[in-house]
Amino acid sequence: MALPTSGKICIGDILREMGRPTNTKTDLNSLASQWYNQTRKAKFNNTKHKLSDWYGETWSTVTLSISPTRYNGNYQAASVRITVTTNSAWSVHNLIGSGGSIPVGEGQGFGNGSFTIRFGSNPYTSTRVGEYEVRTEGLPVYSASFNWSQTGRSGGGGGGPIEDPIDACFDLKSVVQLANGKTKLLEEIVEGDILVGLDFPDRIDASEGDYMQWIGNIKDAKPTKVKVKKLATYVEKSYYHITLKNKSVVKVTPGHSLLTTDNDKENKVCWKKPPQIKKGDFMVDKSGKLIEIRSITHMKKEIEVGVLDVESVDNYVISGIVAHNAEILSTELVDTPIK
């Protein structure tokens, strides 16, 4: 028989549905526990011979939304947040693909919730693809899924592994300076935002040559507006924690180029990566002033980070200092959010 989808039902109906004799003596609490474990979709009260609050077929379907929708699936490590909308218990299933993983404890939930999928770097020239599905528990099963693709790094041959990607990112909670005088957290930045950068008459753009060989005069620096062209988020395994004399804190990955100098008397500045920087060196702020580094420590733990690609000057102000941008190779998430 088909049980009703709402209201109250008799214990006898439950016993018949479970394939058990209806003339046996049954403890209500024990039966409730067994029925719940078998169906995963019922709640019980202690009213004799009655069962209430059974949800059954009234449970909603499951839908997904993806954040950030700008997910950048290039060869570097990345993460994407998935929001689940349902009123039932649910779990995540990796149908195909080995590039993504879900942190322990985030692969299931009850009702509206969310989980993160982390994509490791793809050190191959080939593209890898996958599909995740979120399913409700109990019967009937409702589900929603999406496909993803992640390109391999261009260059090389034969589809084999290549060198590790160079990371160039800041903590997502870093403060970014806008051209209008306001600020935003890095995680709040969107394409088209206008930021502040520094322009030099003899600068070398990344597209024109090796900017790491450039040496400039800080007196020639002029604040300028730059526009966010692309952006992406990742999960990195380590970062540098830098404390400045003005008490500002910078959290940046080892591969990000920062405008710096080791001599505040000569006015010469250049681009260096955190492993090349030491205590007593100086960073450059949005107005071209130098700020001394009080401490710099390599932290070997995971951090969610973001990176910006700006134009027309290849730098911007973040965490109170001038940082170089990074070229972002775009590959959109192939998204089919509802089945």
> Tell me: the pLDDT tens digits for 58-100?
344 677 766 544 344 455 566 777 888 887 788 998 888 777 7
| 26 vs 285 pLDDT, higher one | 285
Per-residue model confidence (pLDDT) at position 239: 95
Per-residue model confidence (pLDDT) at position 189: 92
Per-residue model confidence (pLDDT) at position 207: 74
Fold of 170-324: Endonuclease - Pi-scei; Chain A, domain 1 (2.170.16)
Domain ranges of the chain: 9-58, 63-150, 170-324
| 316 vs 74 pLDDT, higher one | 316
pLDDT of 334 > 60? The answer is no
Per-residue model confidence (pLDDT) at position 97: 78
Average pLDDT over residues 313-327: 93
pLDDT of 162 > 50? The answer is no
**CA gap 327, 152 in Å, rounded:** 15
Pair of tokens at residue 276: 């090349």
Per-residue model confidence (pLDDT) at position 167: 61
Average pLDDT over residues 27-36: 57
Q: Among residues of the chain, what percentage have pLDDT more than 90?
A: 35
For the ranges 39-53, 74-88, 133-147, the one whose mean pLDDT is highest = 133-147
pLDDT of 56 > 80? The answer is no
HEC sequence for the chain: CCCCCCCCEEHHHHHHHCCCCCCCCCCHHHHHHHHHHHHCCECCCCCCCEECCECHHHCCCCEEEEECCCCCCCCCCEEEEEEEECCCEEEEEEEECCCEECCCCCCEEECCEEEEEEECCCCCCCCEEEEEEEEECCCCCCEEEEEEEECCCCCCCCCCCCCCCCCCCEECCCEEEECCCCEEEHHHCCCCCEEEEEECCCCCCCCCCCHHHCEEEHHHCEEEEEEEEEEEEEEECCEEEEEECCCCEEEECCCCCEEEECCCCCCEEEEECHHHCCCCCEEECCCCCEEEEEEEEEECCCEEEEEEEEECCCEEEECCEEEECCCCCCCCCCCCCCC
pLDDT of 142 > 70? The answer is yes
Average pLDDT over residues 224-248: 90
**CA gap 48, 6 in Å, rounded:** 18
- Split at pLDDT 50, 70, 90, the class of 16 is low
Average pLDDT over residues 260-268: 90
- Split at pLDDT 50, 70, 90, the class of 277 is very high
Comparing CA positions, the residue from 137, 149, 135 lying closest to residue 100 is 149
- Split at pLDDT 50, 70, 90, the class of 176 is very high
pLDDT of 40 > 50? The answer is no
Instruction: Look up residue 77 and give its amino acid.
Output: A
Q: Among residues of the chain, what percentage have pLDDT more than 70?
A: 65
CATH node for 63-150:
2.60.40.10
pLDDT of 322 > 60? The answer is yes
Per-residue model confidence (pLDDT) at position 2: 46
Tokens 């770097």 identify what position? 121
- Rounded to two decimals, the pTM is 0.55
* Mean per-residue pLDDT over the chain, rounded: 75
Per-residue model confidence (pLDDT) at position 336: 37
Per-residue model confidence (pLDDT) at position 10: 58
Least confident span in 36-40, 136-140, 292-296:
36-40
pLDDT of 24 > 80? The answer is no
| 114 vs 153 pLDDT, higher one | 114
